[in-house]
Amino acid sequence: MSLRNKPVEQLTEKEAAEELGRLAAEIAEHDHRYHVEDRPVISDAEYDALRLRNAAIEARYPWLVRADSPSRGVGAPPSSTFAPVQHSRPMLSLDNVFSDEDVADFVASVRRFLALPSDAELVFTAEPKIDGLSMSLRYENRRLVTAATRGDGTTGENVTANIRTLDEVPERLPSDAPDLIEVRGEVYMRRDDFLALNQRMAESGQAFANPRNSAAGSLRQKNPEVTRARPLKFFAYAWGETSAPIAETQFDAVRRLAGWGFVVNDLMVRCRSLDDMLGHYRAIEAMRATLPYDIDGVVYKVDRLDLQERLGFRSRSPRWATAHKFPAEKATTVLEKIEIQVGRTGALTPVARLKPVTVGGVVVTNATLHNEDYIRGIGNTGQPIREGRDIREGDTVIVQRAGDVIPQVLDIVPEKRPADAEPYRFPHVCPVCGSHAVREEGEAVRRCTGGLVCPAQAMERIRHFVSRNAMDIEGLGEKQIEFFFTHPDPALSIRAPADIFTLRRRQAASLTKLENIEGFGDVSVRKLFAAIDDRRRVALSRFLFALGIRHIGETNAKRLARHFLSFAKLRDIAERAKAPAGKGDPGNDEWREIVGVSGIGEVVAEALVDFFAEDHNRAALDALLAEVTPVDEEAAGEISSPVAGKTVVFTGALERMSRDEAKAMAERLGARVAGSVSRKTDLVVAGPGAGSKLKQATDLGIEVIDEDAWFERVGQSPSSIAGH
């Protein structure tokens, strides 16, 4: 699949950056073709898809947004797509207030302006501030004639054809409506509709960042049929020009709009005091997360329209209304400390410990810093981010919380950087176990090399150590490992691979008996110890693979085992090997021996050398080798073949051998042959006519090959087995 078709959620960060670069260039080119040359070469739908994909990638990786991003332009297609409309009355915006005191000031300023005595009644309405796009619908003779966006407040865009596709916008008004009225309100998309739409669109690699963008994008379609297919809604809450007064109060006016068939918000109330207003604000804030649509605050309006008239407007906003915004989803706070978390795979992830701050109603104390480069102001393709600003302990930072996503540090406030703030030095040792943490070329992540001893990785490592293709110790499943790993009694704890083999001795010497613990009966304990003892001699390749050294999977473990034949020899060489110090240096003899092993490259060699260079790993190995003896493959009774230890299923018609023959051959090569496909299946050999098993295998992502490929894989032909 080419990158441009890859679903957004499958893109790696690096690919996302690459895609954003391509999209910026392509969209700019199409903009030019469309607007300047008037010679578009792609359809509107294709163009929209490009923008949507760009928006979706940016929503996922906000720190990758480019300076030349198409989303930073005017937003959506430039207005030449839609004809301009002069608003007969300006579409104003609202003042914002953020605190209870601000609201009190607003109320006081209204009273002062109107010279109202402090005991005179003053009623306000309070209603949610819908996070959508404002719209003005002009009805002449009770018919919808024009629908216009707000634009700059004076001139909007004519989107009438698109608006007519909305169910919630009446085409005609009843006879009691005035001859001329502009009904104003908000076009929005419900959250559930947005999610469903996005899911549908994601299949073609497109998605919107949030319901508001989705509503805007859906409305600004050149083809109204596209808009029709989008679940847009409309709340009416205001009006512009009217040929006759429609009511005496805000509240009654909105009720009239409802009477004409508009949907109005049912959370609008009348408030007779500041306490009422703040109480309603709190109530709506508490409902915010469960409302079916996004809101970003509460709007207070003077209820009496005659008072609204007297209060009038400042340049851009009415004196009679204000928006009490909810705390922003972004906030600034102080980054007190950068800490490093070590994940189960050893990845070192920097985390910002913050001075607690409320972001969008939630107290945030931690935020992710992604990786080493992100802190330094470098994006994933090496390009500067935040104009190259780095992040330091002591910095004042901008934190963002988007929905349930982990909060992230977006940027710093340069003016607030303390004079003594030092560039952050990303540790080169694991903060959990002290082993070296290395970063491979082309990787964003630095990893701890303390595999066996690093507690952050230990449980995961033990799981791998005992797994089927590694040490293959039966009776140590997920649950048991967790039980032993977390057990406080030293007689029963398994924290490192060697502990598995000393478990029987330790618990024999202690008063705690495994048999008496729930979940372990006599029989299962006996079986477990037998399974463990069975593995005290184990094939070298399994042992190597079980160690979980980076880049040493089954194949490389086999290659190394075949070459070195003994663990002691491999270890001796790896401990003495010296990688090339620079260009022209071939490395020492031991290094050359390792990279000389067929199929082993420098990356693997380095991982091996790094592993054995760690004192911790060496100590853990010594403890393990006191219990376990790796032996060469033959001595271990292991069959060395590309399918040894694998579970194989044959399905469909086989043309070059019988089913029985195939089974015998596979078993001779050390494979298990199963009759049905399950998660444990490693390989499916499918011939013509293969049906449900083939489908199951594909669904489970299991490798499927045909008969010819099977013979190629095992390096045999049917004739060479005929004699057996």
Using the contact rule CB under 6 A, the part of the chain among 315-323, 408-416, 504-512, 642-650 near ligand IVH is 315-323
Nearest CB to ligand IVH, comparing residues 94 and 347: 94
* Binds ligand IVH (CB under 6 A): choice among 69, 71, 125, 134: 134
What gap in Å lies between CA 296 and CA 294, rounded to an integer? 7
Give Cα separations from 185 to 93, 129, 188, 281, 313 (angstroms): 12, 11, 10, 20, 19
| Residue 127 is a binding residue for ligand IVH (CB under 6 A) | yes
We find the least distance from the C-beta atom of residue 306 to ligand IVH, in angstroms, to be 16
Crossing angle for the helix pair 615-625 and 497-508, to the nearest 10 degrees: 50
Give the amino acid at 380: N
Q: What is the DSSP string of 648-678?
A: EEEES--SSS-HHHHHHHHHHTT-EEESS--
What gap in Å lies between CA 287 and CA 278, rounded to an integer? 14
Count of residues of this chain found to bind ligand IVH when the rule CB under 6 A is applied = 15
What gap in Å lies between CA 166 and CA 218, rounded to an integer? 11
Using the contact rule CB under 6 A, the part of the chain among 23-31, 87-95, 556-564, 591-599 near ligand IVH is 87-95
| Residue 92 is a binding residue for ligand IVH (CB under 6 A) | yes
Nearest CB to ligand IVH, comparing residues 26 and 95: 95
Nearest CB to ligand IVH, comparing residues 300 and 567: 300
Using the contact rule CB under 6 A, the part of the chain among 126-134, 194-202, 492-500, 653-661 near ligand IVH is 126-134
What gap in Å lies between CA 496 and CA 332, rounded to an integer? 43
What gap in Å lies between CA 29 and CA 38, rounded to an integer? 12
Q: Active-site residue 222, yes or no?
A: no
Using the contact rule CB under 6 A, the part of the chain among 129-137, 141-149, 411-419, 525-533 near ligand IVH is 129-137
- Whether 472 contacts 450, CB under 8 Å: no
We find the least distance from the C-beta atom of residue 237 to ligand IVH, in angstroms, to be 4
* Binds ligand IVH (CB under 6 A): choice among 299, 335, 397, 654: 299
Nearest CB to ligand IVH, comparing residues 318 and 451: 318
Nearest CB to ligand IVH, comparing residues 7 and 90: 90
CA 441-447-453 angle, to 5 degrees, is 145
Give Cα separations from 562 to 223, 556, 570, 595 (angstroms): 66, 10, 11, 14
| Residue 294 is a binding residue for ligand IVH (CB under 6 A) | no
| Residue 148 is a binding residue for ligand IVH (CB under 6 A) | no
Give residues 214-243 in contact with ligand IVH (rule: CB under 6 A).
237-238
448, 452, 445: which is closest to 434 by C-alpha? 448
What gap in Å lies between CA 709 and CA 372, rounded to an integer? 44
Nearest CB to ligand IVH, comparing residues 23 and 321: 321
Residue of 6, 14, 129, 325 marked active site: 129
Alpha-carbon torsion angle 585, 586, 590, 595, nearest 10: 140
| Residue 323 is a binding residue for ligand IVH (CB under 6 A) | yes
We find the least distance from the C-beta atom of residue 128 to ligand IVH, in angstroms, to be 6
| Residue 186 is a binding residue for ligand IVH (CB under 6 A) | yes
What gap in Å lies between CA 72 and CA 81, rounded to an integer? 18
Nearest CB to ligand IVH, comparing residues 132 and 450: 132
| Residue 93 is a binding residue for ligand IVH (CB under 6 A) | yes
Give Cα separations from 298 to 112, 126, 398, 609, 634 (angstroms): 23, 6, 24, 62, 77
We find the least distance from the C-beta atom of residue 82 to ligand IVH, in angstroms, to be 18
* Binds ligand IVH (CB under 6 A): choice among 77, 151, 318, 360: 318
Chain residues in the site for ligand IVH (CB under 6 A)? 92-94, 127, 129-130, 134, 150, 186, 237-238, 299, 318, 321, 323
Report, as residue numbers or ranges, the catalytic residues. 129
